[in-house]
Amino acid sequence: MRSIRSKLLFSYLVILIIGAVVMVAAVYFTAPMAYTSHMGGGPGFDPLGGGMGTMMGQGLQRGNLQFMNFRAGVFEALGYAALAAALAAVAVGYFFSRRIVSPLQEVMQASKRISDGHYDERVQTRGNDEMTQLADHFNQMAEKLELTESMRRRLIGDVSHELRTPLTAIKGSMEGLIDGVLPSNKETFEQIYQEAGRLNRLVDDLQEISRVEAGAYQLDIQPVNVSALVQTVAKRLSYSFSDKNISLTLDLPANLPAVLADEDRVIQILTNLTANALQNTPASGSVTIFARPENHFVRFGVHDTGIGIPAEHLSLIFDRFYRVDKSRSRQAGGGSGIGLTIARHLVEAHGGRIWAESAGPGQGSTFQFTLPAA
């Protein structure tokens, strides 16, 4: 009995059987009494009566009266039996209905507490029927709500921190200009302009992640040449790699199939991953962009010889504003912590998946994702 349907059927059968047993038992014990009360002392028969005709008439009359009394006795016995069976059926039905309704009441109470903001509320699971599955799904929903609330609070804190840094720098520079502490020269104004640019880029990143997470964009899916994509990304970032003295290598086999994707979005994904590798690789290091055919997909990868990622951070690396090294701010080259999140959503929108691998701190890392082959 692993389903509510079977439990309900079983409960109905039990109630029916119990009702029938109680009715038979009641008839068995009450029928003699009812028969005696209706048949034993019935009037209309005189064993010392007169002639044959009179005796025949009285016999017919007595037979009709006996039949009516017998019927009344049976109905009386059945009445007692039906009352007993109904009471037994109500008791058994209440027992089974309580066992079925009780989990629903627990879910209702837990949902009310969650609606009041207690996202740590959970429902106990028992058995393996539909109610247990409902409780499991409810607990999963509660966990996701709790995680969403935690991410919302963290998002507010992270955004506040990210906005505060350039705003504090701009405000400090302006106060220095007003007080005459800082000189009114080109260098001071360039510093203020750079901080304003950082603030503008952060706002653009927030708008982008908002659109991506909400799915408020359209994908122009068509066959795209993989080699051309990778080379485009390499050309865009070649100056940054040269400036930091990091080598950029492309590893692309000749038999690569085209991918079904939005060209601009895939370039954005590769750019985010490659820029992340650039930020986390020290001078004289190397970054390799590769691609491989894999079943009905093409697997892209960006491997670097940078700072690496501890194992406990691999599952969190694609979260908003997440940084392995909390001390690395945007100003220090740590980025906003949004690029990987955008890449994950875009890859999943294409029907692929994305993941990160690393042997540990100081041993580099590899970001890979798949896209459907054309």
More confident residue, 124 or 236: 236
Q: Are 149 and 142 in contact (CB under 8 A)?
A: no
**pLDDT of the residue at 7:** 66
Share of the chain above pLDDT 70, in %: 74
Give the number of other Cβ atoms within 10 Å of residue 85's Cβ.
Answer: 22
Comparing CA positions, the residue from 170, 162, 163, 176 lying closest to residue 192 is 170
Q: Are 110 and 123 in contact (CB under 8 A)?
A: yes
Q: How confident is the model at residue 55 (pLDDT cuts 50, 70, 90)?
A: low
Give the Cα separation of 79 and 82 in Å (integer): 5
With a cut of 60, say whether residue 221 has pLDDT above it: yes
Q: Which of 25-29, 202-206, 233-237, 332-336 has the lowest mean pLDDT?
A: 332-336
**pLDDT of the residue at 47:** 40
With a cut of 60, say whether residue 45 has pLDDT above it: no
How far from 349 is each of 217, 257, 261, CA to CA, in Å?
10, 20, 10
**Exposure b/e, 292-317, CB count within 10 A at least 16 = b:** beeeebbbbbbbbbbbbbeeebeeeb
Average pLDDT, integer, range 251-273: 92
With a cut of 80, say whether residue 272 has pLDDT above it: yes
With a cut of 70, say whether residue 32 has pLDDT above it: no
Nearby residues of 110 by Cβ (< 8 Å), 6 or more positions away: 121, 122, 123, 138, 142
Our measurement of the distance from residue 117's CA atom to the centroid of its chain's CA atoms, rounded to an integer in Å, reads 18
Q: How confident is the model at residue 200 (pLDDT cuts 50, 70, 90)?
A: confident
Nearby residues of 304 by Cβ (< 8 Å), 6 or more positions away: 277, 278, 280, 281, 285, 286, 287, 288, 364, 365, 366
- Residue range 274-289, pLDDT digits in tens: 998 998 899 989 999 9
- Residue range 354-371, pLDDT digits in tens: 999 998 888 899 999 999
